[in-house]
Amino acid sequence: MLPKKSNTHWIELDSVDSTNNYAMRLIHEGVAQHGTVVFAHRQTDGKGQRGKMWETEAGANLSFSIIIQPSFLLPAQNFQLLAATAVAVHHTISKLTGDETKIKWANDIYWRDRKACGILVENVIRSTQWQWAIIGIGVNVNQTDFGILPNPVSIKQITGRQINVKEFAQELFTELIKTVSGLQKQGFGKIHLQYNKHLYKRNQTVKLKKGRRKFETLINEVNMNGELVTGSEIKENFDFGEIEWLL
């Protein structure tokens, strides 16, 4: 678990329980810096949304976390950072995989109807100040056998190409830092437009589930607060975690 190689911003690990956990330990130890990357060749207990595990083949995929100081945002504006991350990741992946790559609300990257990437943001908030954000990103890069997972896809499966995972991580990191810097300097408007431009199933009718209710509805957009706006004549807004996609 000791770093194989590190400098001010990059920590490379052969194996770790979770890159987000490692990043959180850096914050608690007082040694975290804005832009620090924790990159692992293997995760033994990777984290997904709502307590799910992120399963990945050692050495084949990208598992890394980036520590950000989002003090220019209020905690209530957390969707802005998530959207900036999704836009940056989408931009980097779609250069390889093309126009069928989309941002699935709120935090996944899909190619057609298959998941290529998941994003998990964990926060450290004290009083009313958003002190730290840990952006965990998992991308299926070179893995081709996913066992019983329902709908995964990798960049290699899409393109037929073997990708250098570390070089891909460095490119994604550069794009993310640029996008977050743009968020700070220029505000959320442009990023919000890009998020909706590439929104999965936008202007299409989909099946959703809320509790015991299953229904079909039109995907319109995601608003500035991060709510999914659905419906045609009568609109309904949903917070993340309220609904389940029935693909």
pLDDT per residue over 61-107, tens digit each?
999 999 999 999 999 999 999 999 999 999 999 999 999 999 999 99
pLDDT of residue 46: 62
Kindly state the average pLDDT of the residues 215-243. Answer: 96
Q: Compute φ and ψ for 75, nearest 5 degrees.
A: -55, -35
Give the Cα separation of 46 and 43 in Å (integer). 6
Nearest alpha carbon to residue 132 among 143, 121, 141, 124: 124
Kindly state the average pLDDT of the residues 193-199. Answer: 98
* Token digits of residue 101: 């790559």
pLDDT of residue 143: 95
Residue 2: band (very low, low, confident or very high) from pLDDT cuts 50, 70, 90? very low
The CB density around residue 94, as the number of other CB atoms within 10 Å, is 18
- Are the CB atoms for 103 and 109 separated by under 8 Å? yes
- Are the CB atoms for 220 and 235 separated by under 8 Å? yes
Fold of the domain spanning 3-197: BirA Bifunctional Protein; domain 2 (3.30.930)
Give the Cα separation of 152 and 89 in Å (integer). 17
Report, in angstroms and rounded to the nearest whole number, the Rg of the chain calculated over CA atoms. 18
* Burial of 101: CB neighbours in 10 Å, binned 0-12, 13-18, 19+: buried
Q: Could you give the percent of the chain with pLDDT greater than 90?
A: 85
First and final CA of the chain: distance in angstroms?
38
| Tens-place pLDDT, residues 144-182 | 998 877 899 999 999 999 999 999 999 999 999 999 999
Residue 5: band (very low, low, confident or very high) from pLDDT cuts 50, 70, 90? very low
Say whether pLDDT at 54 is over 80: no
Residue 9: band (very low, low, confident or very high) from pLDDT cuts 50, 70, 90? confident
Verify cis geometry, omega within 30 degrees of 0, for the bond prior to 106. yes
pLDDT of residue 44: 86
Amino acid, single-letter form, for residue 27: I
* 193: Cβ contacts below 8 Å, ≥ 6 apart: none
- Are the CB atoms for 156 and 143 separated by under 8 Å? yes
Q: How high does pLDDT run on average in the chain?
A: 92
Say whether pLDDT at 209 is over 80: yes
Say whether pLDDT at 51 is over 60: no
